[in-house]
Amino acid sequence: MENPYIFTYIISYRHKLDRLQNLKRVIDWILGFQGVELIIVEQDKSPKLPAYSLKGFKYFFTKSDLPFNKSWAFNVGTKYASTNVIVFGDSDLIMDQQEFINSLKLLEQYESVNPYSKVIDLTSNENGMPIEALKQIQRPYRGELDIQKTPIAGGIIMFRKDALIKLGGWDQNFIGWGAEDNWTSHKILNILTWTQLQYRCYHFYHEKVKPDMIYYQRNLQLLNKLVNLSPDELKKYISNTYQKFGFKNSYCDK
């Protein structure tokens, strides 16, 4: 049977009430596209999303007592993706739909596309504004207070599926917050054909969670080691990480 989907959009999620409200808004935005297969991978000690009866997407749960591992969630989602075009996005980011589609089309020329170069951090009062109103927001550049420059693989990033496999997927050795997107960005820049557009995306307000600094420092040390690998060492490392793609200490309930 012909696949009805054009592209797959994968979101990793760990539950907090304010993040749930943002996720609902992101789901509505994604499902406004035609031909999208939306996959949400929740990771926690026990599932929370089913209790809210959210619909319109494929749902998988990965059980873990460790800090959130975004790479593992993304890899699990990738294993269940049924298209050859995969987009990864955070549960609190949206952008202009036409600009998103323009970016998606560039995967005909490039193996990976970052659809924006600026992130507009919204206030709690701006969270409920329609996209057309968000596009009117004009702020002077004040460092990371309003507009953040993210890594190529941070936030929303697009891939051809075969290119993602070439990278070994997302690296599950990064546990907790930080550095996994920097490492994926390094691999994109050194292995794939890629482009980054000058569009904007919008980051919904939520309470900040302080990361576990022990894991964060560990991630930074791992990143520093990996970015200094030789081309042959990098190739070997990617081969080893792909062997545990989406499976590390995990189970997945359909």
Instruction: Break the chain into its structural domains and give their ranges.
Output: 7-242
DSSP assignment letter at 168: T
Confidence class for position 1, pLDDT limits 50, 70, 90: very low
**What is residue 122's DSSP assignment?**
P
Question: Sign (positive/negative) of CA torsion 47, 124, 37, 152?
Answer: negative
pLDDT of 26: 96
pLDDT of residue 18: 85
| Residues 7-30 as b or e (16 or more Cβ within 10 Å = b) | bbbbbbbbbeeebbebbeebbebb
Task: Give the pLDDT mean for 59-88.
Answer: 92
Contacts of 36 (CB under 8 A, 6+ apart): 5, 6, 7, 8, 9, 30
On the question of pLDDT at 212 being above 90, the answer is no
What is the CATH code for 7-242?
A: 3.90.550.10
